Structure 1
């Protein structure tokens, strides 16, 4: 699931659907992977729903960078 909205003129949010998480350690892995993407300011991942809410600086990074970071951590991320 991909949902994006403008928070203010410099920050945006994006919501991704994450698959393959089974514990709080998985949540931490996904959050850390996304936080390592340049321009990502904060991440909140919910284990039960599999939803990651990401706040990032406008125009950076793109969706593919975020998906790749999650995949590199061993999980799947997608837009719906």
Structure 2
């Protein structure tokens, strides 16, 4: 299992948190995703044999947020 912290711009509320966490956990290989609204990031635990960081960033951007 690998852990990645991704900086995300534009998250400000519980809806944002749920949208990003939900999009990430739908990806095959992602076990957990935890948004920290104060820090503006999401910590993701995943299997790097099943999913790439670029896939996770795309899933976040598909929800309308900018990835740094």
Judge same fold: TM > 0.5, yes or no: yes
TM-score by length of 2: 0.92
Query: Deviating runs (4+, > 2 A) in structure 1?
Result: none
For 2:45 and 2:56, how far apart are their aligned partners in 1?
11
Q: Larger RCO: Structure 1 or Structure 2 (Cα < 8 Å, ≥ 6 residues apart)?
A: 2
CA distance in structure 1 between the partners assigned to 2:60 and 2:39 by the alignment: 16
1:4-36 alpha-carbon deviations (Å, 9 max, x no partner) = xxxxxxx11111001111111101110001111
Q: How does 1:1-80 map to 2 (within 5 A)?
A: 11-78=1-68
Name structure 1 gaps, 5 residues minimum: 1-10
Q: Across the two proteins, how many residue pairs are aligned to each other? A: 68
CA deviation profile, 1:27-74 (whole Å, cap 9, x unmatched): 111000111111000011000111100001132311110010001111
RMSD: 1.0
Larger % of helix: which? 2
Structure 2, unpaired ranges of 5+: none
TM-score (normalised: structure 1): 0.79
